[in-house]
Amino acid sequence: MFLKNCWYVAALKQELIDGRLLSRRLLGEHVLLFRGDSGQVFALNDRCPHRGALLSRGRLEGDAVRCMYHGIKFDGSGKCVQIPGQELIPPKLRVPHYPVIERGPFIWVWMGEAAKADPAHLVDLPYLHEPQWRGIPAYLHYDANYLLIVDNLSDFAHLAFVHTRTLGGSEEYAYVSKPTAIERLERGFRVERWHLNSDAPPFHQKVIQDKAAKVDRRNIATMLVPGIFTMETLFAPAGQGAQAGNVAGAREYRNCQFMTPETERTTHFFWSYLNNFEGEDNTISHSLLNSLIEGFMEDKAIIERQQVTLEEDPGFQPLAILADAPLVHFRRTLGKLIDAEQTPGA
């Protein structure tokens, strides 16, 4: 059960190059994504309505795709435009299409009712298009339900134990820092957490000169349905009063992560980790990309095994601790939206 009337990241822009017909399963449906010769991106159901061949094994022709079984051709809206050897085109012979928005490095798709697809509902993340923010968009596949990844991102304490030597920096982080604010939002939550006078975590040390200098570290995370996560991270020189607003000399990051269900038990995970202090050569972005992959593999090992454990005993009831408040709120919010969407007449 997924929320359908909302935007999901379906692909990285760079995946749709060279006329590629990209076949990707989204929310259980097989979707064909392609960029037509005009430059526009299209998303169609990846099944020829004639005899069920995969359209992604067809041929790109302009802004249309030809099924390479019996040669029927469909335009980017899914309308049949040619049947070889037959004049009359039955109006019913068409492929469902999905609204698409291309923004920054990501291709977003609306999997619900096309008539409700409003670009205004797409969350605007300015750092994905503002030139001072630099990063390298990337993708990982998860053998786990997307909500287990959302859960993981809801509690920074895991940084201390899962990512001690990569993204976290110390176990101390879980003991001495606490969220200074947890806000319940209509479609998610916002959590702010400070860790004062700490060592810089390894991923940050790798890209700064003075590796031993103490820092005041602030993370502000926002999670929105269906699985849109951003985190604003700041490292300021310790003791200068960053918490009171003096952020002179601070280094900042913006973390954008998007969880899109592939199936009930698998997920497409897209991200871009941006910084605002590198020059033109991408050295810092490359280091951060490697650090992030290293960190995400640590999450992935835990979460994918958690998926197996939960599948082995569907009756298992997780027990909550205080730190679970954001994830509990998120799951409740999402559950209500899914219920409302599936209630006829709502």
Provide CB contacts within 8 A for 294, sequence distance 6+.
166
Q: Total residues at the site for Fe ion (CB under 5 A)? A: 1
- Interacting partner of 69 out of ligand FES, Fe ion, none (Cβ under 5 to 8 A depending on kind): ligand FES
Q: Which stretch binds ligand FES (CB under 6 A): 7-15, 66-74, 122-130, 222-230?
A: 66-74
- Interacting partner of 70 out of ligand FES, Fe ion, none (Cβ under 5 to 8 A depending on kind): ligand FES
User: Which of 67, 80, 148, 288 forms a contact with ligand FES (CB under 6 A)?
Assistant: 67
| Least CB distance to Fe ion at residue 140 (A) | 12
Residue 48 interacting with ligand FES (CB under 6 A): yes
Report the relative pairing of strands 251-263 and 22-26 from DSSP bridges: unpaired
- For residue 117, give the 3-state DSSP assignment: coil
Residue 53 interacting with ligand FES (CB under 6 A): yes
DSSP 143: S
| Token reading at 103 | 């923004």
| Token reading at 146 | 């997307």
- For residue 322, give the 3-state DSSP assignment: helix
The C-alpha atoms of residue 169 and residue 118 are separated, in whole angstroms, by: 41
Asked if residue 7 lies in contact with residue 122, where contact means CB atoms within 8 angstroms, the answer is yes
Whichever of 22 and 160 has its CB closer to Fe ion, that residue is 160
The C-alpha atoms of residue 172 and residue 203 are separated, in whole angstroms, by: 17
Q: Which stretch binds ligand FES (CB under 6 A): 65-73, 118-126, 302-310, 338-346?
A: 65-73
Whichever of 73 and 329 has its CB closer to ligand FES, that residue is 73
User: Which of 146, 207, 299, 307 forms a contact with Fe ion (CB under 5 A)?
Assistant: 299
User: For residue 275, what are the CA distances in angstroms to 20, 136, 183?
Assistant: 30, 10, 25
| Least CB distance to Fe ion at residue 329 (A) | 20
| Least CB distance to Fe ion at residue 224 (A) | 18
Angle at 195 between CA 187 and CA 154, to 5 degrees: 25
| Least CB distance to ligand FES at residue 35 (A) | 21
Residue 80 interacting with ligand FES (CB under 6 A): no
Residue 50 interacting with ligand FES (CB under 6 A): yes
Q: Total residues at the site for ligand FES (CB under 6 A)? A: 9
| Least CB distance to Fe ion at residue 153 (A) | 7
Whichever of 57 and 178 has its CB closer to ligand FES, that residue is 57
Residue 64 interacting with ligand FES (CB under 6 A): no
User: Which of 69, 93, 143, 338 forms a contact with ligand FES (CB under 6 A)?
Assistant: 69
The C-alpha atoms of residue 19 and residue 69 are separated, in whole angstroms, by: 19
- Interacting partner of 299 out of ligand FES, Fe ion, none (Cβ under 5 to 8 A depending on kind): Fe ion
Contacts 24+ apart (CB under 8 A), 287-290: 287/203, 287/206, 287/207, 288/135, 288/136, 288/203, 288/207, 288/253, 289/135, 289/136, 289/138
User: For residue 178, what are the CA distances in angstroms to 44, 152, 174, 216?
Assistant: 46, 16, 7, 14
**Contact string 152-181 vs Fe ion (x = CB under 5 A):** ------------------------------
Residue 148 interacting with ligand FES (CB under 6 A): no
| Least CB distance to ligand FES at residue 31 (A) | 17
The C-alpha atoms of residue 219 and residue 208 are separated, in whole angstroms, by: 18
Interface residues toward ligand FES, by CB under 6 A: 48, 50-51, 53, 67, 69-72
Residue numbers of the site for Fe ion (CB under 5 A)?
299
